[in-house]
Amino acid sequence: MLVAKDLQKSYDHSPVIKNVNLSIDVGKSIAIIGPNGSGKSTLLKLLIGEERLDRGMISFLGEPLTRFSHKERAKYIGVLPQTGLPEILFTVSEIVEMGRYPLQGNKLWLSADDKNRVADMMDELELTAFTHRFLTEMSGGERQRVALAKTMVQEPKLIVLDEPTTYLDLQYQLSILDKLHQWKNQRNTTLLMVLHDINLAALYCDEIIMLKKGEIYQQGSPNDVIQTDHIKAVYGIEPLIIAHPTKGVPQIFLNGYAGG
């Protein structure tokens, strides 16, 4: 679905992304992990055409990404940015409806089918009770769910999420990731997300890309990537890693200091 070759990006002559090569297959869920400043968000923006490359090539659906206009990209790629939604004076339903606009073509109004899909998505993400509430009246976690509903109702082939669990408590973190996983399996949608939580990445993603100082340090299955030596080299800590009791994927426990 998406192939990147020899990606390079610098800001003020300081390299941020260096020699990145990767391939993302249809129907996979991919996590990008790494410490702060490793280039995760920049790589994500490059892969969806929001930042221009200094060097390299990205193809999407077999075509150079540069051949897609912004509107064409919006038909296939749904994006949930790290910053979430801006302070706009619209109701929850109006914002979620915006996710259908790239699919409207020349139509000026949403069809009955569009409105039904909006209603179904709001119900899935437990937003129906907030239908007529303005975004400015909602908490950070509620806003994040609204942003995700707007992204998912677009029904894109690729959903790109930069820290999708930001502002969410544990219950909603798991709920959102469960919905994304369900969506992937039902519609063969591809997921590409930046996650800080390595344990969540292992639980919900087929593959993990681990960045270190703008380069891919490791890429592969959770079992291949989440190893003590890799975590120590990239994060500077030596964790305890055990298999999840039911999922079998690696999970990290930190050997913190327990003072007396």
pLDDT digits (tens, 9 = 90+) for 147-162: 889 988 988 999 999 9
Q: Average pLDDT of the chain?
A: 90
CATH of range 2-84+156-253; options 3.40.50.2000, 3.90.1300.10, 3.55.40.20, 3.40.50.300: 3.40.50.300
Residue bearing tokens 């790239």: 102
- Would you state the pLDDT for residue 111? 87
Confidence of residue 260 (pLDDT cuts 50, 70, 90): very low
Query: Residue 74 above 50 pLDDT?
Result: yes
Residues 157-202: pLDDT tens digits? 999 999 888 777 888 888 889 988 988 998 899 999 999 999 999 9
Mean pLDDT of 67-75: 86
- Would you state the pLDDT for residue 88? 80
Mean pLDDT of 99-125: 85
Confidence of residue 127 (pLDDT cuts 50, 70, 90): very high
Question: Which residues, in sequence order, are bridge partners of residue 86?
Answer: none
- Would you state the pLDDT for residue 155? 87
In the chain, domain spans: 2-84+156-253
- The string of DSSP codes covering 45-109 is HHHTTSS--SEEEEEETTEEGGGS-HHHHHHHEEEE-TT-------BHHHHHHGGGGGG-TT-SS
Answer whether 0.75 is exceeded by the pTM. Answer: yes
- Would you state the pLDDT for residue 243? 96
Q: Dihedral through CA 41, CA 165, CA 156, CA 96, nearest 10?
A: -120
Mean pLDDT of 9-22: 95
Mean pLDDT of 204-210: 97
